[in-house]
A and B are shown apart, each in its own frame.
Chain A
Amino acid sequence: MTDIKTFLRGLPAFERFSERQIDALLDRLHVETHAPGTVLFRQDEQEPALYIVISGVLQMSHQSLINGDNGDNTREAHAGEVIGHLALVPNMPSPSTCTAVGEVTVASLSYDDYNALFLLAPGVAHQFQYMVATQLAHYLQEQNKSLRQHLDSQRPTASRSFLERLLGA
């Protein structure tokens, strides 16, 4: 855990926290190593936990439901990145599938442990809450772009009237 403590303290998101706050976080984190090809979570399913990537590479792939291949995208998550934020929001499907490219080690934080942090180390919990809010806003921006792209591709066909009814016009 000492190495992970050093690792966490080196991340910009956690560098301002005290020894006691980092220890409280460490008590709630679960370090896991996953074999290549392991799927940590799937698109449209609830993410099981938030993950801090300690080592290795994960592939995050999103498949658009409405824009075909044009709306698909893939990116990689590397050491130091935080993924799976939506695990901390109840009843919220994941926008992407996360797969270990090689062997990966992550520190996971469950929804229950996140809530416990509000009592044990409120500042750290607020940091995760801020990360969740910014990630939700980012996903909404992406979702709006996707809907706009779909809308543009439909104009000026008859589908527009359907879209207008659907979106409340």
Chain B
Amino acid sequence: MAQVYENLMAEFEQRFPDIAAELGPENLTRFLEACILVKLPEGRQLFRDRMQVESLYMLLEGEMVATVGGTSRNRSSDALTVGQIQPGAWLGEVAVLSGDMHASATVTTKTRCRALKIHSQDFERFVLYDEDISHVLLGHLVDILAQRLRESHAVEETLRRHD
């Protein structure tokens, strides 16, 4: 069991090197103790567009795709791909941090995946009451969200010019 945990820490350090380095071994251990390792087969929907989100995920291995739109009868063929998700990515953080708690896209595994899952309540406990971990997580999440918002603005601006 200890060997499995050490391997998980090593894998986290590889996929999320900045967060691991800034947290340090003690805080990283506390954070990982709140996470569950999940294994997902190819073609599994992790989130469904506009459905409730209860947990955040950190992708360790495999690829996922984010789509929006599509009718309920023919969702897969009518959906629009808005992102390819690689190891090192966070998932579900927008829904949780916004308080909306609903997915803004459908996320489906393209390959077999392994991810760390943390329940939104555990995540909020770290963010609100554990300054050592909060500072590191929020610092990275602010950077990630800011970059996504800049990219989204760029898409909007391109659409405006196209119209």
Known: A66-B159, A152-B69, A164-B81. A92 touches B105 (CB 8 A): no
**A91, A140, A163: most-surrounded residue (chain B CB, <10 A):** A140
Please determine whether B84 and A168 come into contact, CB atoms closer than 8 angstroms. yes
Considering the complex, give the chain A residue whose CB is closest to the CB of B146: A89
Is B108 part of the binding interface, using a Cβ–Cβ cutoff of 8 Å?
no
Known: A137-B93, A164-B81, A169-B81. A130 touches B134 (CB 8 A): yes
Considering the complex, give the chain A residue whose CB is closest to the CB of B127: A130
**B135, B152, B159: most-surrounded residue (chain A CB, <10 A):** B159
Is B104 part of the binding interface, using a Cβ–Cβ cutoff of 8 Å?
yes
Minimum CB–CB distance from B140 to chain A (whole Å) comes to 10
Minimum CB–CB distance from B34 to chain A (whole Å) comes to 18
Minimum CB–CB distance from A83 to chain B (whole Å) comes to 17
A168 / chain B contacts, CB cutoff of 8 Å: 81-84
Please determine whether B156 and A143 come into contact, CB atoms closer than 8 angstroms. yes
Minimum CB–CB distance from A80 to chain B (whole Å) comes to 18
Interface residues of B in 37-86 (CB under 8 A from A): 68-69, 80-84
B138 touches which of A129, A160, A162, A169 (Cβ 8 Å): A129
Is A144 part of the binding interface, using a Cβ–Cβ cutoff of 8 Å?
yes
Known: A66-B159, A92-B149, A133-B145. A167 touches B104 (CB 8 A): no
B98 / chain A contacts, CB cutoff of 8 Å: 134, 137-138, 140-141
Please determine whether A139 and B149 come into contact, CB atoms closer than 8 angstroms. yes
Considering the complex, give the chain A residue whose CB is closest to the CB of B84: A168
Considering the complex, give the chain A residue whose CB is closest to the CB of B161: A65
Considering the complex, give the chain A residue whose CB is closest to the CB of B96: A137
Interface residues of B in 123-163 (CB under 8 A from A): 127-128, 131, 134-135, 138-139, 141-142, 145-146, 148-150, 152-153, 155-160, 162-163
A136 to B68, CA, bound (A): 20
Please determine whether A162 and B162 come into contact, CB atoms closer than 8 angstroms. yes
Please determine whether A166 and B146 come into contact, CB atoms closer than 8 angstroms. no
A152 to B155, CA, bound (A): 16
Please determine whether B97 and A133 come into contact, CB atoms closer than 8 angstroms. yes
Is B122 part of the binding interface, using a Cβ–Cβ cutoff of 8 Å?
no
Considering the complex, give the chain A residue whose CB is closest to the CB of B156: A65
A159 / chain B contacts, CB cutoff of 8 Å: 162
B153 / chain A contacts, CB cutoff of 8 Å: 93, 143
Please determine whether B162 and A144 come into contact, CB atoms closer than 8 angstroms. no
Please determine whether A150 and B69 come into contact, CB atoms closer than 8 angstroms. no
Minimum CB–CB distance from B152 to chain A (whole Å) comes to 5
B96 / chain A contacts, CB cutoff of 8 Å: 137
B104 / chain A contacts, CB cutoff of 8 Å: 140-141, 144-145
Is B100 part of the binding interface, using a Cβ–Cβ cutoff of 8 Å?
yes
Is B32 part of the binding interface, using a Cβ–Cβ cutoff of 8 Å?
no
Using a CB–CB cutoff of 8 Å, the interface residues on chain A facing chain B are 65-66, 89, 91-93, 118, 122-123, 126, 129-130, 132-134, 136-141, 143-148, 150-152, 155, 159-160, 162-164, 166-169
* 12 extra interface residue pairs, beta carbon distance < 8 Å, beyond A148-B68, A150-B159: A91-B150, A123-B131, A132-B142, A133-B145, A137-B96, A141-B100, A144-B105, A145-B104, A147-B68, A152-B69, A167-B82, A169-B80
